[in-house]
Structure 1
Amino acid sequence: MNQGTHQNIMTQLGMTSDEYNLVTVLYYIPYIVGEAPSNLLLKHFTPSKWQSRIIITWGICLMLHAAVHNKGGLYATRFLLGLAESGQFAGILLQMCYWYRPDEMSLRLLYFYICGNCSGIIGGLLAFGFDHASGSHGLSGWQWLFLTEGAITVAFGIAVWFLLPDFPETASWLTDREKAFIQARLPANAPRAKEQNFKFSEIVDSLKDVRLWLFTLIWAIYTIGTNGVRFYQSTVIANLGFT
């Protein structure tokens, strides 16, 4: 945004290209480390309350980006953003296991990824719009972008507190027969609302499963390829001479 002007984020924060690349690294370190602990907390606080806290904190961290004045501030906010967002995707996977069988998960995840791709389109349109709004009220376009997306995220997080269903056993809009039906159709190893305890033996059993490691390998290869395009596509396009 605003490349070649004094309102470009790298120019304003006095960052080189190599220093800017660390922004991505500092986001993913807490994101990876925080996923497992976050899912343990999700079981303790219930999905709606924990996911709401995650999303609201995530939105606040987004808005804080607009207040940074140097690369150190950007590094700190990116680290906190990764930590806040770490439980979101993993938490969605866990919550789906409370409601759906493994053979039903792929379609639900497809819906989730469609929403993610649509949000990328909307984010791109917002970035284009705010790129032409730089200087409004003394803020650059990238600052307006962070403030707007952060505010929307906070509002969504508040809605999640009241609207997201937690477990089949506690859903007020289900009859007792419907609750029993949903739970009866789940596999024996599906998580249950009443299971608040943590069993280290379950982690050991999972680590012994070769399918976990094959999935991890596939996911790592997929992530390396897609993230390279996702994070640097706009830079590549700009360097090719396109606006």
Structure 2
Amino acid sequence: MNSTTRTAAFSDVDETLIRVKSMFRFLEFYLRGRGEPPATFARLTGELRQAVLRGAARADVNRRYYRLLRGESARRLADEGQRWFAHEWQELPDGLYVPEVEEALAGHRKAGRDLVLVSGSFFAPLDPVAADVGASAVLATRPVIRRGELTGEVLAPMIGETKGRAVRLTAPLGGLDLAGSWAYGDHESDLPMLRAVGHPVVVGDDPQLAVHAAAPGWGRLLPGPARR
């Protein structure tokens, strides 16, 4: 690697960098802010859970989520995302971040590596997280927006193989050396992203990922239990 080549740390967000599933936590917060009863959130998320139980692909469930936001103002969603981020710090007694991953990513930034978040979530909950941790880029699911409103469609769910392709495409554009870069993920759907770099790190105890974590060159982080 020459002196001008940069490296990066790519990180999944939900249940890797942060303790929660941002899409669902944000949706619950957003609906409550609109005055919707708790039953609305339960009904909408129940439909998504039923799709999972019927064997729907993770990417398909991701698309279904964004259809719930059809007609919503992109600006309002972004504003509510900032409020949601502040609210989570009040709701979660142990903080929003998984401390072991937060510390690891802070170390990469200190070493001069780019920090890139890679997530199936979207701009509303992700932008405040990215700003807070100092991410240089976010590779996320991009809802289609027309005349300031979400259409309910997305360009491509940032799930599975799409994560791997996004990381590989980002490298030449940003002058990044993937062989010298890191990636962090907690779920088997993060495997394409983890395999795209020279230093993959498995976060948590996902059984499918645990097999890969034992391979040479792979790292592992096992976060401790939350304080009570």
Assess same fold via TM > 0.5: no
Provide the TM-score with structure 2 as the length reference: 0.27
Q: Which has the larger radius of gyration?
A: 1
Point out the structure with the larger strand share: 2
Whose helix proportion is higher, 1 or 2?
A: 1
